Amino acid sequence: MENKLQTIKSWLGTGSINIFGLPMSGKDTQGIRLAEALNAKFISSGMIIRAMEAETHNKYSSKGELIPTNLFYEWVLPYLERKDLSEYPLILSSIGRWSGEENQVMSVATGAGHEIKAVVILNVSEADVEKRFEAAKTLGDRGEREDDQNLEVFHTRLQEFREKTLPVLQYYKSLGLLIEINGDQSRDAVFNELVEKLYAKASESLS
């Protein structure tokens, strides 16, 4: 495993990997773990947006809707250009979820020295993420997030993914950047598959 991670590090440099998936698919869990393994910095659009919503008293995510593109550009994209992150690779969690944002994301990332080297989709069915949603409510392990409080809002989030984010993933696929991971496994199995496929991509690029 360590040799494969070293190969991924060499290939990635200060580039970035952008991880997507349905709500409750494990994006942040896997992203944080991958960042730790690669000595990278983790950036989650959801975390940034919720913090900015609290600061500005906006409530977009509480309804399950994606924030408008202009606010995404204002709130989230500047994180890619932070000087304190310039020497690190970045692991991104769903940066640019609305179709039409991907070109600007790629442009800003490249300009900041964090070229997007791969885009990951954690494939989990809507039925399975709904089960995870119900389990999380029972366990109370998602904190006080307003977008996790009721099933209607959760269904809105699923619809937003289908309508606005799936085209983003198709675009990345057309560029040869998309890596598909079976997200319906144990956390360790998901991580192992992620490392294996990133290693394969890194090896191919470095050969």
d(CA 36, CA 50): 23
Q: Is beta strand 178-182 parallel, antiparallel or unpaired with respect to 90-93? A: unpaired
Which stretch of 7-11, 49-53, 96-100, 179-183 has the lowest confidence by average pLDDT?
49-53
Q: What is the mean pLDDT of residues 12-26?
A: 97
Q: What is the pTM of this model?
A: 0.92
Map out the domains of the chain as residue ranges: 2-206
For residue 11, give every residue at least 6 positions away whose Cβ sits within 8 Å of its Cβ, in sequence order, or none: 117, 201, 202, 203, 205, 206
> What's the CATH number for 2-206?
3.40.50.300
Closest Cα partner for 81 from 103, 51, 114? 114
Residue 59 confidence (pLDDT) above 90: no
3-state secondary structure 142-185: CCCCHHHCCHHHHHHHHHHHHHHHHHHHHHHHHCCCEEEEECCC
- What per-residue confidence (pLDDT) applies to 49? 92
- What per-residue confidence (pLDDT) applies to 63? 85
Closest Cα partner for 96 from 174, 19, 148, 182? 19
d(CA 197, CA 24): 22
Cα distances (Å, whole numbers) of residue 163 to 28, 94, 104, 157: 22, 15, 19, 10
Residue 18 confidence (pLDDT) above 60: yes
Question: What is the pLDDT of the chain when averaged over all its residues?
Answer: 93
Q: Exposure of 136 by Cβ count < 10 A (0-12 exposed, 13-18 middle, 19+ buried)?
A: middle
Joined together, the tokens standing for residue 196 give: 């294996």
- What per-residue confidence (pLDDT) applies to 148? 58
Closest Cα partner for 144 from 64, 55, 50? 50
